[in-house]
Structures are given as structure tokens and as C-alpha cells.
Amino acid sequence: MINTLIQTEADYIYSFLRIIAGIIIFPYGMQKLFGWFDDLGGGVGIKETLIRMKSRNIPVVVTWLVEV
């Protein structure tokens, strides 16, 4: 049973899918963290994100954990 849990597959499709998912999600993180892509309607940066989350009564610690 333990062998089936720790067994690895040689399929490269999983690595490929992880890379594609990372490429898709990367811009969203950069909008919140660094304020990138401001000309596309996003990208307020970390200060503004903290202010917005605080106005919604979300603790600052939770906001930092989600962002970073």
C-alpha cells in the first residue's frame, strides 16, 4: 500500500499542466503584489490591496498570507 502512495509517474503531462497553470495565474499575483498591469484595469499594488481588505474587515495577517 505504501508503494502506491509514494510511487511517481513518468508522465510529463503533469509537469506541463503545472507550468501552464503557473503562467496563467502569474499575472494575477503580480497585480496584487507589485501593481503590474495597471493599464489593463488591475494592478493596485500591495498597499491598496491591504487597504481594500481592511475595509472589508479581513485581518491584515490573512491578507498577507493570501498575497505572499
Tally of domains in the chain: 1
pLDDT at 41: 58
pLDDT at 38: 67
In a domain, 52, yes or no: yes
Q: 32-41 — which CB contacts under 8 Å span 24+ positions?
A: 32/67, 33/67, 33/68
In a domain, 23, yes or no: no
pLDDT at 19: 94
In a domain, 49, yes or no: yes
pLDDT band at 62 (very low <50, low <70, confident <90, very high): confident
In a domain, 36, yes or no: yes
The range of the structural domain enclosing residue 37 comes to 32-68
In a domain, 25, yes or no: no
In a domain, 4, yes or no: no
In a domain, 9, yes or no: no
pLDDT at 22: 93
In a domain, 65, yes or no: yes
Q: What does the pLDDT look like over 9-46, one tens digit per residue?
A: 778 888 899 999 999 988 887 877 777 776 665 667 77
